[in-house]
Amino acid sequence: MKTVDGSFVDANVLVYAATEDDLRHRASLDLLETVSADTLLVSCQVLSEFYSVITNPRRVTSPYAPEKAVRFIPGLLGAPHVKVLPMTLEVELRLLAILDFNEVRGAAVYDLQIAATMLAHGVSRLYTYNGKDFARFASIEVLEPQVVQ
């Protein structure tokens, strides 16, 4: 598969960008709104995770109504520097190979699917606030969003 230039964005960055009362809000929003030479990459899985978390009162202090969450996503996808990576057979085969060597249960599989998506598309940079979840992947450079000055 052809290498895709850009940096992958984890769902937690999207959640904090949408959560105005969180300390990580400004840095996350800056990352998403600042057009730079770096293309930001997401997957349908990440968009679904965003929706699941932002509408869940057990996960966020001010959950979005479903219609508000649905309106957030097209705004993000309409940005010229954001691209959605396809979930291909190669992604799923990589995920299965990763699962074969990493015994995980439950929701931890979603981080491994992000890693599989990145590896299948040749993406090496990841913006996330959960860097420890990706420490097992030496080829993934973890970056935390910073406030743009």
Q: Mind listing the pLDDT tens digit for each residue in 86-140?
A: 999 999 999 999 999 988 899 899 999 999 999 999 999 999 999 999 999 999 9
Contact 87, 81 (CB under 8 A): no
- Architecture of the domain defined by 7-85+123-129: 3-Layer(aba) Sandwich (3.40)
Instruction: Please give the full DSSP string across 66-101, using - where no structure is assigned.
Output: HHHHHHHHHHHHTSTTEEEEP--HHHHHHHHHHHHH
Q: Mind listing the pLDDT tens digit for each residue in 24-83?
A: 999 999 999 886 768 999 999 999 999 999 999 999 999 999 999 999 999 888 888 899
